[in-house]
């Protein structure tokens, strides 16, 4: 090769590289333009539900207390998140509500709501809004001047939304929402004697023999359902465990069938490989649907769905690993007069164990995540709790709690499988 032709080819290569350097980004950009149009991203700004976003964010770090007056008989109910499970006993409430002749709700910062036949809301810097709900509507009255845009009113409905809270009057009900930082009932519900106790008081109560009662009040908390959530986490991990290791046990013998050097029969090998392709191709989603028809919702369905999909993946990987084993070790074992089973046990298994174990453990940790997703579809484990909480569209603090738990669970499984991998596979290269 002369230097001239070398130079020519180098120039050609450079030219091609230069074109590629511009063509690739151009193609990607063109694809994104297509996606922008096909997914109607321009119209997204109209579809974004800003008020949903605001509820979500404020719900995550705060809770709201509903103070409700029945306008027909004057009874007042106070409940956290407006749920029966979070209701204060009649005649009691948080310290910002005073019960006298009239119920007075101090929303803080000078915002005061007074209940009664005539309900009033003092808004600092604006004046007193009042209403007299009855047969003719809510009969709202406002201070003179322009009406601010945080008030919306009609004949039968008055709503005031300020930073301090939300005030709604209809003919039948007057309702005040007050947002407070934190997750009030996370540890104990209102009917527990330990609600509102500080950590120090709790510890001293625990040492004076109430530890069991404290634990049971926490564990059976009806609002946050700690024991059920813990079970759901266990179920999710169980799905991943059964699915992954069950698949590995089934796939190992099948992997021998699909490996060229162990199965001389081409037909058998072909069949085994097609089974693996089928199991993987049908995909977890479809397996989940089919299995949940037969077994109903629950962790077993999820475990079996993972098992079927992963039998396909493992079978393929195992057979590839088996095709790469070193024949010399098997020959060595055979030369000592070992029978076929012993040859596999001592010539093959020690070679492939590190590879297989590392793959199985890797799948185990990623299946913890899949089990959450499958649980959301088929109805089992923490995935079910999560979808249920999201569907209510108001329990975002629970959604946050579950997400935190899921992330911790997945990270814990990551750590565990990494530790096991290092422990079981002592060779320095096997751990990746």
Looking at residues 235 to 254 of the shown chain, list those that interact with another protein (rule: CB under 8 A).
Answer: 235, 238-239, 241-242, 245-246
- Give the nearest distance from C-beta 399 to another protein in angstroms: 7
Closer of 169 and 239 to another protein (Cβ): 239
DSSP letter for 148, please. Answer: P
Closer of 6 and 147 to another protein (Cβ): 6
d(CA 214, CA 220): 10
Closer of 123 and 413 to another protein (Cβ): 413
CA-based radius of gyration for the chain? 33
Half-sphere exposure of 368 (CA within 13 A, CB side): 22
Binders of another protein in range 26-55 (CB under 8 A): 28, 31-32, 35, 38-41, 44, 47-49, 52-53
Q: Verify binding: residue 61, another protein, rule CB under 8 A.
A: no
| Count of other CB atoms within 10 angstroms of residue 86 | 20
Q: Verify binding: residue 342, another protein, rule CB under 8 A.
A: yes
Closer of 213 and 338 to another protein (Cβ): 338
Residues in contact with another protein, shown as a per-residue x/- string from 278 to 297 under the rule CB under 8 A: --xxxxxxx--xxx-xxxxx
SS3 sequence of 271-300: HHHHHHHHHHHHHHHHHHHHHHHHHCCCHH
Stretch that binds another protein, among 140-148, 153-161, 355-363, 400-408 (CB under 8 A): 400-408
Interface residue with another protein among 159, 275, 403, 416 (CB under 8 A) is: 403
- Give the nearest distance from C-beta 212 to another protein in angstroms: 25
Closer of 221 and 372 to another protein (Cβ): 372
- Give the nearest distance from C-beta 333 to another protein in angstroms: 5
Interface residue with another protein among 104, 252, 357, 373 (CB under 8 A) is: 373
Q: Verify binding: residue 272, another protein, rule CB under 8 A.
A: no
Instruction: Give SS3 for 419.
Output: helix
Runs of H (alpha helix) within 178-225: 199-205, 211-219
Interface residue with another protein among 37, 201, 211, 407 (CB under 8 A) is: 407
The backbone torsions φ and ψ at residue 184, rounded to the nearest 5 degrees and listed phi first, read -55, -45
Interface residue with another protein among 315, 386, 401, 417 (CB under 8 A) is: 386
Interface residue with another protein among 15, 148, 340, 350 (CB under 8 A) is: 350
- Give the nearest distance from C-beta 386 to another protein in angstroms: 6
DSSP letter for 77, please. Answer: E
Per-residue CA distances from 380 to 57, 283, 346 (Å): 27, 19, 41
Binders of another protein in range 144-173 (CB under 8 A): none
- Give the nearest distance from C-beta 301 to another protein in angstroms: 6
- Give the nearest distance from C-beta 430 to another protein in angstroms: 14
Burial class (CB in 10 A: 0-12, 13-18, 19+), 81: buried
Closer of 2 and 336 to another protein (Cβ): 336
- Give the nearest distance from C-beta 259 to another protein in angstroms: 17
d(CA 224, CA 219): 9
d(CA 319, CA 361): 17
Stretch that binds another protein, among 117-125, 153-161, 166-174, 342-350 (CB under 8 A): 342-350
Closer of 106 and 414 to another protein (Cβ): 414
Binders of another protein in range 294-333 (CB under 8 A): 294-301, 303, 329, 332-333
Say how many residues touch another protein, by CB under 8 A. Answer: 74
Identify whether the C-beta of residue 409 lies closer than 8 Å to the C-beta of residue 382. Answer: yes
Burial class (CB in 10 A: 0-12, 13-18, 19+), 378: buried
d(CA 116, CA 308): 64
Binders of another protein in range 252-271 (CB under 8 A): none
- CA triple 85-90-92, angle to 5 deg: 95
Binders of another protein in range 208-237 (CB under 8 A): 235
Interface residue with another protein among 133, 255, 315, 380 (CB under 8 A) is: 380
Closer of 60 and 202 to another protein (Cβ): 60
Stretch that binds another protein, among 131-139, 142-150, 179-187, 343-351 (CB under 8 A): 343-351
d(CA 130, CA 122): 9
Count how many residues are written for the chain. 432
d(CA 243, CA 372): 13
Query: Percentages helix, strand, coil for the chain, rounded to the nearest 5?
Result: 60, 15, 25
Residues with Cβ within 8 Å of 178's Cβ and at least 6 positions away in sequence, in order, are: 64, 65, 67, 96, 105, 107, 164, 165
Q: Verify binding: residue 369, another protein, rule CB under 8 A.
A: yes
């Amino acid at each position: 090769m002369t230097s001239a032709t070398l130079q020519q080819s180098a120039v050609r290569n450079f030219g091609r590289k230069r074109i590629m350097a511009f063509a690739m980004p151009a193609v990607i950009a063109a694809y994104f333009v297509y996606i922008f149009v096909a997914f109607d991203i321009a119209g997204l700004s109209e579809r974004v539900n800003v008020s949903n976003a605001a509820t979500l964010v404020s719900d995550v770090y705060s809770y709201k207390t509903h103070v409700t007056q029945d306008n027909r008989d004057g009874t007042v109910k106070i409940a956290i998140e407006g749920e029966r499970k979070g209701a204060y006993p009649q005649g009691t409430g948080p310290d910002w509500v005073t019960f006298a002749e009239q119920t007075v709700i101090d929303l803080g910062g000078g915002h005061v709501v007074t209940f009664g036949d005539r309900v009033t809301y003092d808004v600092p810097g604006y004046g007193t809004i009042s209403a007299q709900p009855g047969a003719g509507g809510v009969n709202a009255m406002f201070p003179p001047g322009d009406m601010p845009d945080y008030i919306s009113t009609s004949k039968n409905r008055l709503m005031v939304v300020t930073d301090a809270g939300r005030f709604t009057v209809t003919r039948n009900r007057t309702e005040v929402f007050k947002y407070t930082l934190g997750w009030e009932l996370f540890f104990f519900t209102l009917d527990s004697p330990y609600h509102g106790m500080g950590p120090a008081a709790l510890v001293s109560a625990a040492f004076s023999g109430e530890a069991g009662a404290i634990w049971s009040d926490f564990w059976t908390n009806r609002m946050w359902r700690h024991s059920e959530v813990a079970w759901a986490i266990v179920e999710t991990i169980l799905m991943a465990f059964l699915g992954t290791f069950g698949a590995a046990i089934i796939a190992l013998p099948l992997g021998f069938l699909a490996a060229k050097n162990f199965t001389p029969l081409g037909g058998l090998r072909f069949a085994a490989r097609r089974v693996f392709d089928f199991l993987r191709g049908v995909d977890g989603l479809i397996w989940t649907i089919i299995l949940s028809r037969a077994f109903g919702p629950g962790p077993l369905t999820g475990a079996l769905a993972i098992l079927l999909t992963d039998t396909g993946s493992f079978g393929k990987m195992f057979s590839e690993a088996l095709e790469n084993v070193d024949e010399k070790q098997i020959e060595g074992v055979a030369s000592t007069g070992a029978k076929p089973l012993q040859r596999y046990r001592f010539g093959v298994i020690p070679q492939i164990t590190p590879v297989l174990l590392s793959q199985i453990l890797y799948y185990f940790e990623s299946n913890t995540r899949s089990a959450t997703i499958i649980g959301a579809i088929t109805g089992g484990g923490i995935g079910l709790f999560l979808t249920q909480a999201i569907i209510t569209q108001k329990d975002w603090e629970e959604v946050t709690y579950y997400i935190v738990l899921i992330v911790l669970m997945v990270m814990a499984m990551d750590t565990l499988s990494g530790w096991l991998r290092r422990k079981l596979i002592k060779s320095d290269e096997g751990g990746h």
